[in-house]
Chain A
């Protein structure tokens, strides 16, 4: 039995966890609440198809279920979920041996449409072009730089949240973001594109 969205919305994340431990079907509430956000994140970090991203997400949520008692309530649940999804994504990438500098982004219509979400003030063509360029430059960055830029600027996380997701000190997050920004600018300058980051 899958719990309806209406019922799920009546519970906080922590209440859903408690309910899930009593009745597993409530776990679908947690999945649905984070599904789109996490799929978007997986596709930003890894160059994968929607189906592959869904597989990664499913594996991640099986791990989340398995380690539900390991959740430290001093963390934000979203940070913990991001951490597991991130680790699963990296692990899948390693298995495919297709991550890192050699990646080339495939620019297709769905990617354009997805990245245009929530952006205003720019025409759709301009926005798509800009987002595609951002994605292409990101794809040329080493993974440690790419992941901090995605978490900071696309997922809008604080340094503390990034620290919790990547399990690195906040100071290291700051340093890495600075270096990543520099690397991003260098690549964008080589491609005659100007970005404000």
Chain B
């Protein structure tokens, strides 16, 4: 018997049927859907990482006297970095197993997946979505520590020279600041650097770098707005 006859006989005997076309179409569609979803979720994760970098003053860590590494690690948005890596990995896996995925090197596919997430994530961050996402997580996930909470933690170390809160009263030589634990401090600012975006007025939230003088007195070297632009800039933006 010829080999071709044996083959046809074996196919008939084993009743082997061609797998339907929809099966392959579905598989390919699932891979691309997986890729798009992973890129989108990776983008969300990247936008929060960007938000964390923007909100957290990593540059002040070098001025701290102790536990720098511990503090630095505590400030990193680990959850979001892990999400980002996982979703970029899923996107890479999906595209690698698509029909033509093998045509590209691992570096190109991983780079492409990451670049898409980074691009979309940056746009989402610029649109202000990242802070909302952070808030939603903080409100709904019990163990999640929001970027704002981490930031408050960093700026609530008067012994280290970092203090923050809301201005409650202003005098020519000093102002009173209520920190996030509701303790009121008297801040002197004669020599302090105050950027134009900061307005020393009641209700303004600020970050203060300086020296703790006593249990409720602090001397400011520099005053920064609490988040992004200060109240003055925000008002200017609203008036336009």
Q: A and B from one assembly?
A: yes
Of B2, B4, B103, the residue contacting A163 (CB under 8 A) is B103
Q: How many residues of B contact A (CB 8 A)?
A: 24
Interface check B16, CB cutoff 8 A:
yes
Interface check A170, CB cutoff 8 A:
yes
Interface check B20, CB cutoff 8 A:
yes
Tell me if A35 and B18 are in contact (CB < 8 A): no
Closest Cβ of chain B to A162, distance in Å, is 12
Tell me if A21 and B18 are in contact (CB < 8 A): yes
Interface check B105, CB cutoff 8 A:
yes
Interface check A68, CB cutoff 8 A:
yes
8 Å CB contacts to A: which residues of B8-56?
8, 10-12, 14, 16-21, 23-24
Tell me if B10 and A58 are in contact (CB < 8 A): yes
Tell me if A172 and B3 are in contact (CB < 8 A): no
Number of A-B contacts (CB under 8 A): 64
Closest Cβ of chain A to B11, distance in Å, is 6
Task: Kindly report which residue of chain A lies nearest to residue B14, judged by CB atoms.
Answer: A62
Closest Cβ of chain B to A27, distance in Å, is 6
Of B2, B8, B19, the residue contacting A27 (CB under 8 A) is B8
Tell me if B16 and A28 are in contact (CB < 8 A): no
- Chain A residues within 8 Å of B23, by CB: 69
- Chain B residues within 8 Å of A144, by CB: none
Tell me if B11 and A167 are in contact (CB < 8 A): no
Chain B interface main SS type:
helix
Tell me if B3 and A58 are in contact (CB < 8 A): yes
Interface check A61, CB cutoff 8 A:
yes
Tell me if B102 and A167 are in contact (CB < 8 A): yes
Tell me if A62 and B11 are in contact (CB < 8 A): yes
Closest Cβ of chain B to A184, distance in Å, is 24
Tell me if B18 and A67 are in contact (CB < 8 A): yes
Q: How far apart sit A27 and B11, CA to CA, in the bound complex (Å)?
A: 10
Tell me if A31 and B7 are in contact (CB < 8 A): yes
Closest Cβ of chain A to B195, distance in Å, is 51
Interface check A197, CB cutoff 8 A:
no
Tell me if B8 and A35 are in contact (CB < 8 A): no
Closest Cβ of chain B to A163, distance in Å, is 7
Interface check A24, CB cutoff 8 A:
yes
Interface check A14, CB cutoff 8 A:
no
Of A2, A68, A168, the residue contacting B2 (CB under 8 A) is A2
Q: How far apart sit A72 and B21, CA to CA, in the bound complex (Å)?
A: 11
- Chain B residues within 8 Å of A58, by CB: 3, 6-7, 10
Interface check B104, CB cutoff 8 A:
yes
- Chain A residues within 8 Å of B102, by CB: 163, 167-169
Closest Cβ of chain A to B18, distance in Å, is 4
- Chain B residues within 8 Å of A68, by CB: 18
Of A2, A21, A24, the residue contacting B12 (CB under 8 A) is A24
B interface residues (Cβ-Cβ under 8 A, vs A): 2-8, 10-12, 14, 16-21, 23-24, 99, 102-105
Give me 11 other A-B pairs in contact (C-beta within 8 A), A21-B18, A27-B8, A169-B104 excluded: A2-B2, A25-B8, A28-B8, A58-B7, A61-B7, A66-B17, A66-B18, A67-B19, A68-B18, A163-B103, A170-B103
* 3 tightest Cβ-Cβ pairs between the two chains A and B: A28-B4, A167-B102, A69-B21
